[in-house]
């Protein structure tokens, strides 16, 4: 186990995409627990949609968010690397944005949006997809429902809670 409590699972097994999604889910839930957010459940529907979009990104090799209307009311996190990312790599990079988040002045910032989407308390389901481009780079798409990062008054205060201090 790494310092975050996430297991690194082998990716060279027949159900690698399912294993990858489970690893991303486990890491999300470890981080969510620190912020008093209930665990997410993996959604096969969201995962299929995320995988389809990851394939599209890999084919163009351009990292850009999907058109909001194409994903309904889902939130979305994206990751790219020049190598085959593990689920833990991706989750750790997104969560690392916590260092820039100001819990005394909660709100949206482009530098912390991956982190806040991960720990958004009222999100309940997660979908994960990964695809490899022809150059070996990998694209990861995570979809959340209900979506987080709602900028209306009070939403960040109620959904992005400070980490619990260990006693």
What is the CATH number for 128? 3.40.33.10
Q: What is the pLDDT of residue 85?
A: 94
Residue 55, in any domain of the structure = yes
pLDDT at 1 over 60: no
Percent of the chain at pLDDT > 70 equals 89
Q: How many residues does the chain have?
A: 167
Q: What is the pLDDT of residue 6?
A: 53
Residue 39, in any domain of the structure = yes
What total of structural domains would you count in the chain?
1
The burial of 28, by beta-carbon neighbours within 10 Å (0-12 exposed, 13-18 middle, 19 or more buried), is given as buried
Specify the range with the lowest mean pLDDT, choosing from 21-35, 37-51, 59-73, 114-128: 59-73
Distance CA 36, CA 27 (A): 14
Q: What is the pLDDT of residues 47-61, one digit of tens each?
A: 999 999 999 999 999
- Cα distances (angstroms) measured from residue 7 to each of 3, 4, 91, 97, 104: 10, 9, 12, 21, 32
Residue 154, in any domain of the structure = yes
Specify the range with the lowest mean pLDDT, choosing from 38-47, 66-75, 97-106, 140-149: 66-75
Q: What is the pLDDT of residue 11?
A: 38
Tell how strand 138-145 and strand 75-81 pair up. antiparallel
Q: What is the pLDDT of residue 21?
A: 95
DSSP 65: P
What's the chain's average pLDDT?
A: 90
Q: What is the pLDDT of residue 8?
A: 46
Q: What is the pLDDT of residue 166?
A: 66
Q: What is the pLDDT of residues 120-129, one digit of tens each?
A: 999 999 999 9
Residue 4, in any domain of the structure = no
Domain holding 67, by residue range, is 16-159
Question: Which is nearest to 91 in space by CA: 147, 15, 40, 157?
Answer: 40
Residue 164, in any domain of the structure = no
pLDDT at 19 over 90: yes
- For 45, the token pair is 């529907």
Q: What is the pLDDT of residues 77-108, one digit of tens each?
A: 999 999 999 999 999 999 999 999 999 999 99
Yes or no: say if 35 and 161 are a contact pair by the CB < 8 Å rule. Answer: yes
Residue 5, in any domain of the structure = no
């Amino acid at each position: 186990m790494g310092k975050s409590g996430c297991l690194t699972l082998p990716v060279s097994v027949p159900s690698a995409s399912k294993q990858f999604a489970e690893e991303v889910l486990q890491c999300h839930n470890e981080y969510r627990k620190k912020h008093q957010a209930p665990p997410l459940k993996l959604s096969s529907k969201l995962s299929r949609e995320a995988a389809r979009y990851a394939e599209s990104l890999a084919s163009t090799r351009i990292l850009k968010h999907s058109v909001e209307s194409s994903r309904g009311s889902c939130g979305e996190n994206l990751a790219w690397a020049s190598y085959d990312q593990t689920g833990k790599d991706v989750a750790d990079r997104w969560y690392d944005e916590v260092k820039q988040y100001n819990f005394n002045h909660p709100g949206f910032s482009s530098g912390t949006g991956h982190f806040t989407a991960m720990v958004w308390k009222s999100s309940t389901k997660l979908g994960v997809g990964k695809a490899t481009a022809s150059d070996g780079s990998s694209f990861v798409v995570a979809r959340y429902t209900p979506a987080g990062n709602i900028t209306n008054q009070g939403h960040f205060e109620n959904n992005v809670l400070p980490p619990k201090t260990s006693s």
